[in-house]
């Protein structure tokens, strides 16, 4: 006869110091008539040592019972079980708690999520990042706890029989069952091995609610490491019970959902729990309980319909060797199918991968929630065309074209002054003195250009901001708009300063090499006119010999040659004047573009670069890492896992 019972842990999670065993203490042989009394006396002695007065009521313990306790009971944290002296050291050594170790891909994803949260704190609100922060906290907390234990919660609706299944798996009546609803008021833990105190402390389960089944001297080693949690009803009328369930489901490594033939299609179960946890299929068991109530092959029909509902919820089913949820049918009351569930749990626990798979599923769920704030539906960024149009608008606002035309006119005037006839220059000087300088200045700067310059600059900033945010998620689009608006606040004044300091033409435009020759020829023509005039005047007054032909020819040559030289210089000055005006326009255009780039485009590009960094981190959170050197030099695209991805900021900027 093997004694099976359970003992409450009253140590508050601390392992009691074991007293030295007495070698001569008598131990009742297995199968003797005193087995029941001996085990009962031992149980009472342990309870009395723990300070539980009820366990010691009516118990008579002596030196023999104490000795039996010392030799037959280990110092388990949660409960005690009968075992041989030779088995205790090996068991204690094998269940020393050791921290969980994540594999390299999972660590990389967690690091990427941590970096993602850090880069996003100034752009996203705390509520958006709350779930990601919770996943990081839970991953860090679970990593510091035992890797040899797997915490599995048993969850279900009122009357589904989850407590009965809990007792059936434990092999002893630990959790209360009955017709009173709700029966389970607080989470109850049962551990098959020592070293789970840290896990249960994290779950907030007090020592009075921690159990471990007392099995025989040859327990099932496959179940070692299992920590089973019986949860309250998820549809309980008591709010506190539902809060327990919500909290526990976020902390456990796996969940066994217990449904019954009446409420397996309950909308609350599917919409509130199963559907949101569809990504946790690999750490999910769905058990159809109470099949003893179904006649004939009705259990198979209900189980098929349950699989259909789970498939509609998006839960992958672990069939034909594929990863996914385990779906079983059983009767916890009769024990039919419980062995199959126990075998599945034993294999699940032996793999020791539930905790890592749970964290990975939590990462996937957090990434799905963050997708709207990180995933762009199209290629984003500023194109070369948008940048050129922005520069053109700024050049138009600052009057680069008008400045070039003014520079061209100034060069031509300078050429006319240098190569024109003295008489024409004298006439122009007289006209300038008669009309005054106001008329010349009035036509230098158009009034409408100066009045609308600020509006044009503001419009240019607004347009380039709208083009930069096209396709961006809302938080990052707002950040880009704010950066563009901040840069555009002082842009009109900066452009005005550029127009004054850099865009105005020089006082004396550069002169080409042929100007001195043209000036000499024009002076020669003037000299011919003067000489011819004086010669003719001398003949009139009688000083010179009469010869009208020579002085007249000299005067005609000078009179005709002067304008001809001026006309030839004007024709020759067209090309240099145009080039001089284009150079002045280009200089002002480049200065305006540089000012706009420094004040607007660079801050916008910085925000786009920040989005690109967080986007790359988000891709790493999904488990996809762009390969080194995968970027295309032609378009800036890069490959991710064989899939071509466009850059977030174009290669040109």
What's the rounded Cα separation, in Å, for the pair 404 and 336? 95
In angstroms, what CA-CA distances link 445 with 51, 393, 401, 403, 522? 100, 18, 12, 9, 34
Nearest Cα residue to 519 out of 569, 564, 479: 569
What's the rounded Cα separation, in Å, for the pair 98 and 75? 18
What does the H/E/C string look like for 7-65? Answer: CCCCCCCCCCCCCCCCCCCCCCCCCCCCHHHHHHHHHHHHHHHHCCHHHHCCCCCCHHH
Provide, for the chain, the percentages of residues in helix, strand and coil under a 3-state DSSP scheme, each rounded to the nearest 5: 55, 5, 35
Taking only Cα atoms into account, the Rg of the chain, rounded to an integer number of angstroms, comes to 47
Give residue for tokens 């990601």: 132
- Angle, CA 474 vertex, CA 472 and CA 475 arms, to 5°: 105
Exposure string for 177-216, b = 16+ CB within 10 A, e = fewer:
beeeeebbeebbbbbbbbbbbbbbeebebebebbbbbbbe
Instruction: Give the pLDDT confidence score for residue 155 in this predicted structure.
Output: 94
Within 472-630, where are the H helices? 474-488, 491-501, 515-541, 549-596, 602-621
Q: What are phi and psi of 301, to 5 degrees?
A: -65, -45
Nearest Cα residue to 587 out of 454, 497, 498, 511: 498
Instruction: Give the pLDDT confidence score for residue 342 in this predicted structure.
Output: 92
What's the rounded Cα separation, in Å, for the pair 97 and 146? 5
Instruction: Give the pLDDT confidence score for residue 407 in this predicted structure.
Output: 77
Instruction: Give the pLDDT confidence score for residue 420 in this predicted structure.
Output: 66
What's the rounded Cα separation, in Å, for the pair 515 and 290? 111
Nearest Cα residue to 306 out of 334, 348, 266, 249: 266
Q: Order of strands, edge to edge, in the sheet holding 254-259? A: 210-211, 188-191, 226-230, 150-156, 254-259, 284-288, 326-329
What's the rounded Cα separation, in Å, for the pair 367 and 132? 8
Residue 643 in 3-state DSSP? Answer: strand
All residue ranges of the chain with pLDDT < 70 are 1-98, 176-184, 214-220, 377, 416-418, 420-421, 424-425, 428, 436-452, 501-513, 515, 625-653
Measured from the Cβ of residue 598, the count of other Cβ atoms closer than 10 Å reads 13
What does the DSSP 8-state code read for residue 456? H
Nearest Cα residue to 209 out of 78, 82, 80: 78
How confident is the model over 417-436, as pLDDT tens digits? 667 667 766 776 777 777 75
Structure tokens at 285: 């068991």
Instruction: Give the pLDDT confidence score for residue 576 in this predicted structure.
Output: 79
Query: Taking all residues of the chain, what is their mean pLDDT, rounded to a whole number?
Result: 75
Structure tokens at 361: 């599923």
Q: How far apart are the first and last CA of the chain?
A: 81
- The burial of 276, by beta-carbon neighbours within 10 Å (0-12 exposed, 13-18 middle, 19 or more buried), is given as middle
Asked if residue 95 has a cis previous peptide bond (ω within 30° of 0), the answer is no
β-strands 284-288, 326-329 pairing: parallel
Instruction: Give the pLDDT confidence score for residue 253 in this predicted structure.
Output: 95
How confident is the model over 70-107, as pLDDT tens digits? 333 333 333 333 333 444 434 444 445 667 789 899 99
Indicate the domain borders of the chain.
5-94, 149-352, 384-607
Within 286-437, where are the H helices? 298-312, 338-351, 354-374, 384-398, 400-419, 422-435
What's the rounded Cα separation, in Å, for the pair 578 and 583? 9
β-strands 5-6, 213-214 pairing: antiparallel
Nearest Cα residue to 12 out of 162, 145, 208: 208
How confident is the model over 301-348, as pLDDT tens digits? 999 999 999 999 999 998 877 899 999 999 999 999 999 999 999 999
Instruction: Output the CATH code of domain 149-352.
Output: 3.40.50.300
């Amino acid at each position: 006869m093997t004694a099976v019972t359970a003992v409450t842990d009253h140590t508050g999670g601390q392992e009691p110091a074991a007293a030295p065993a007495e070698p001569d203490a008598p131990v009742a042989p297995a199968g003797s008539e005193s087995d029941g009394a001996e085990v009962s006396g031992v149980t009472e002695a342990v309870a009395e040592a723990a300070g539980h007065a009820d366990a010691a009521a009516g118990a008579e313990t002596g030196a023999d019972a104490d000795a039996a306790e010392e030799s037959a009971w280990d110092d388990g944290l949660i409960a005690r079980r009968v075992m041989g002296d030779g088995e205790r050291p090996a068991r204690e050594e094998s269940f020393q708690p050791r921290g969980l170790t994540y594999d390299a891909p999972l660590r990389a994803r967690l690091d990427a999520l941590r970096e993602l949260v850090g880069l996003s704190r100034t752009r996203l609100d705390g509520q958006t990042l709350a779930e990601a922060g919770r996943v990081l906290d839970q991953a860090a907390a679970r990593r510091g706890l035992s890797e040899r234990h797997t915490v599995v919660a048993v969850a279900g609706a009122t009357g589904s029989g989850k407590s009965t299944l809990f007792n059936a798996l434990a092999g002893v009546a630990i959790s209360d069952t009955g017709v009173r609803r709700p029966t389970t008021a607080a989470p109850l833990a049962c551990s098959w091995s020592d070293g789970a105190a840290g896990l249960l402390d994290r779950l907030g389960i007090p020592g009075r609610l921690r159990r471990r089944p007392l099995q025989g001297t040859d327990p099932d080693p496959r179940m070692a490491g299992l920590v089973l949690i019986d949860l309250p009803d998820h549809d309980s009328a008591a709010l506190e019970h539902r809060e327990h369930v919500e909290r526990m489901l976020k902390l456990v490594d796996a969940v066994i959902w217990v449904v019954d033939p009446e409420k397996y299609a309950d909308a609350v179960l599917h919409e509130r729990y199963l559907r949101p946890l569809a990504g946790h299929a690999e750490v999910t068991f769905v058990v159809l309980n109470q099949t003893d109530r179904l006649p004939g092959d009705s259990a198979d029909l209900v189980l098929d319909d349950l699989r259909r509902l789970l498939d509609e919820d998006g839960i992958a089913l672990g069939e034909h060797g594929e990863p996914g949820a385990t779906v079983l049918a059983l009767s916890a009351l009769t024990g039919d199918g419980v062995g199959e569930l126990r075998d599945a749990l034993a294999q699940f626990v032996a793999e020791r991968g539930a905790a890592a798979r749970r964290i990975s599923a939590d990462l996937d769920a957090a990434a799905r929630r963050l997708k709207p704030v990180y995933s762009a539906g199209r290629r984003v960024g500023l194109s070369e065309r948008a940048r050129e149009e922005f520069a053109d608008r700024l050049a138009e606002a600052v009057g680069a074209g008008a400045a070039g035309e003014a520079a061209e006119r100034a060069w031509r005037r300078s050429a006319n002054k240098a190569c024109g006839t003295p008489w024409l220059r004298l006439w122009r000087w007289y006209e300038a003195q008669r009309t005054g300088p106001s008329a010349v200045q009035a036509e230098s700067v158009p009034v409408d250009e100066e009045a609308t310059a600020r509006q044009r600059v503001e419009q240019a900033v607004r347009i380039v901001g709208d083009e930069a945010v096209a396709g961006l998620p809302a938080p990052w689009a707002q950040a880009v708009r704010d950066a563009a608006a901040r840069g555009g606040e002082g842009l009109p004044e900066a452009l005005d300063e550029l127009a004054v300091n850099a865009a105005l033409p020089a006082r004396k435009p550069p002169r080409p090499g042929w100007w001195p020759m043209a000036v000499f020829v024009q002076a020669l023509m003037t000299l011919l006119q003067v000489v011819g005039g004086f010669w003719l005047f001398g003949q009139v007054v009688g000083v010179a010999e009469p010869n009208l032909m020579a002085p007249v020819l000299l005067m005609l040559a000078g009179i005709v040659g002067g304008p001809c030289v001026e006309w030839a210089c004007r024709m020759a000055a067209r090309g240099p004047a145009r080039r001089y005006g284009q150079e002045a326009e280009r200089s002002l255009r480049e200065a305006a573009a540089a000012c706009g780039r420094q004040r607007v485009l660079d801050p916008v590009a910085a925000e786009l670069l920040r989005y690109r960094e967080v986007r790359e981190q988000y891709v790493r959170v999904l488990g996809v890492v762009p390969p080194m050197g995968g970027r295309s030099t032609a378009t800036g695209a890069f490959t991710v896992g064989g899939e071509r991805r466009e850059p977030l900021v174009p290669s040109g900027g």
